[in-house]
A = this chain, B = another copy of it.
Amino acid sequence: MAIIVDKVQKKKDIALSCKALVVSKGINVLTIAQIAKAAGVGKGTIYEYFKNKEEIVFEIINIMKFEHSQKLAHQLSQLKSTKEMVKKFSEFFYSNEEKELREIYKEFISLSLMNSNPEMMAYQTQCFNNYYGWFTEILQEGVNNGELRAESIKLARGIFVMGEGMFITNSVTHSIENLKEELEMFIDTIFELLEVKK
């Protein structure tokens, strides 16, 4: 009988073994030949596990986002104040640890903006909803336990999306020298306004 391979695991393995390459060069500039070589498999094997080149980025980001959200969940659970939690969210946009994920994320945004691939859009929407749902819950919690003013909810989307805006803007212009400080200052300031003064 033939070897039975754990297709799901092998897909992950391939994706991960060419992750560094994709992160450093970008998917567009890479050829399947290079990817296959980096993954230590034949070109044909890539197509046994991925429908096309783009799907490799999908898989990589998928794995990394999963890891990131696991870690984020854990870290958030250790935190008490809403502000700290919001800051933790914003860390994605500057922390050194997430540099790779950010690179891939840029790649992904770029792909999504170019061709409006429905699959990609569905995936993006799902990711967004996950994180954003999580974010609003945190703010809601803050309101419920009297930490924040009720209006906070109405600012949720704006605050959430502001990190993205800073990240993209900065990726494209390098106009901000210290993203971390900028983000923190914004959050501090807005919490100043939103926190219920006792």
Interface of A toward B, CB cutoff 8 Å? 2, 26, 28-29, 42, 44, 106-107, 109-115, 121, 124-125, 128-129, 132, 151, 154-155, 157-159, 161-166, 168-169, 171-176, 182, 185-186, 189-190, 192-194
**How distant is the Cα of A55 from the Cα of B15 in the complex, in angstroms?**
34
A114 CA to B168 CA in the complex, in Å? 12
* B175 engages A158 (CB within 8 Å): no
Shortest A178–chain B CB gap in Å is 12
The interface residues of chain B lying within 8 Å CB-to-CB of A164 are 165, 168-169
Rank and list the top 9 A-B pairs by shortest CB-CB distance, nearest first: A165-B165, A161-B165, A158-B186, A110-B113, A164-B165, A125-B173, A193-B193, A112-B172, A154-B189
- By secondary structure, the A interface counts as helix
Q: How far is the CA of A89 from the CA of B31 in the complex (A)?
A: 42
Contact in complex: A114, B28 (CB < 8 Å)? yes
Residues of B within 8 A of A113 (CB): 106-107, 109-110, 113, 168, 171-172
Task: State the oligomeric state as a number of copies.
Answer: 4
Q: Mind listing 19 A-B residue pairs with CB under 8 Å?
A: A26-B114, A28-B115, A109-B113, A110-B113, A113-B168, A113-B172, A121-B174, A124-B173, A125-B175, A128-B169, A128-B175, A132-B175, A154-B185, A157-B186, A158-B182, A159-B162, A161-B162, A161-B169, A164-B169
Q: Across the two chains, which residue of chain B brings its CB closest to A192?
A: B151
In angstroms, Cα B185 to Cα A161, docked, is 14
Chain B residues lying within 8 Å of A109, measured Cβ to Cβ, are 110, 113, 168, 172
In the bound complex, CA of A38 to CA of B131 (Å): 43
Cβ–Cβ < 8 Å partners of A190 in chain B: 155, 158, 190
A186 near B154 (CB under 8 angstroms)? yes
**In the complex the two chains form, what is the Cα distance from A169 to B155 in whole Å?**
16
Residues of chain B lying within 8 A (CB to CB) of residue A26: 114-115
> Which B residue sits closest to A171, measured CB to CB?
B113
